[in-house]
Amino acid sequence: MEFKEIYCFNCRKSLGRYNEKYFTDQKMSEIIKANHASHIYEGHEVVIKRITV
């Protein structure tokens, strides 16, 4: 299974994992804007990583 993980380098923690089958890149960016905006406002580096399990 392949997942996309939203990861914050400054906090060094995963903010969430989402199945690639159900979440497109556009949906992932919407999730970041809606749920993890505080990290971006604080200047944290938030990235989307691909994980294969």
The whole-angstrom distance between residue 10's C-alpha and the CA centroid of its chain comes to 13
pLDDT digits (tens, 9 = 90+) for 6-51: 999 999 999 999 999 999 989 999 999 999 989 989 999 999 999 9
Report the distance separating Cα 22 and Cα 20, nearest Å.
5
Report the distance separating Cα 6 and Cα 21, nearest Å.
16
**1 band by pLDDT with thresholds 50, 70 and 90:** confident
Over 90: is that where the pLDDT of 53 sits?
no
